[in-house]
Homo-oligomer: A and B are copies of this chain.
């Protein structure tokens, strides 16, 4: 059994992200450190350390004297983040070894087809999109870039949560993934990059349509 060797602050960070993605934390509301520490069964110190790490990721804000609070969500921020991730993933794809891309293309296509089928269940769909993109970029040699993309997606998950249960969002995405995979199969990396960008663009629009009133 693998005993926990990560610092407590990391585990707290994960737990906070978990709660955030389950919508259990009120947005734009101050965090009471003592109360939350008790609730998590830890002391203030590692909790504050976790909050500071999340602040640097843009998920939490702080103001001297007023403490920490969950960053508010906005359509504008979602658009901004999507624009950045789209560009970064495109870059990652361009930097990938073309040989590796053609080698993973069949698997990418297969997975996309499985999920564009209308009978896919929600549990299957939930983690699919992320996993597909991870595989797509698995050959990118720029470690920093991959780390950045991961951090950005952490923040974006807050927005995607608002449309869970809406199967169409992910199904449409899977259809677009098929096209990207086909491009890669054909060795057309630049075409894949273009389609990847429009995948992000259209995904953003689909989500924005559905959260107009919530944020």
> Which residues of A are interface residues toward B (Cβ below 8 A)?
5-7, 9, 45, 48-49, 52-53, 55-58, 62, 64, 77, 80-81, 83-84, 87-88, 91, 95, 142-145, 147-148
Give the docked Cα–Cα distance between A147 and B155 (Å): 14
**CB distance B144 to A81 under 8 Å?**
yes
- Name the CB-closest residue of B to A77: B144
Q: Select one of B7, B57, B80, B81 contacting A56, CB under 8 A.
A: B57
Asked whether A144 and B49 contact (CB < 8 A) given A6-B64, A64-B7, A87-B91, the answer is no
Q: Give chain B residues whose Cβ lies under 8 Å from the Cβ of A6.
A: 64
Query: With the chains together, A5 CA to B57 CA distance in Å?
Result: 22
A147 to B152, CA, bound (A): 12
Q: How far is the CB of A80 from chain B (nearest CB, A)?
A: 4
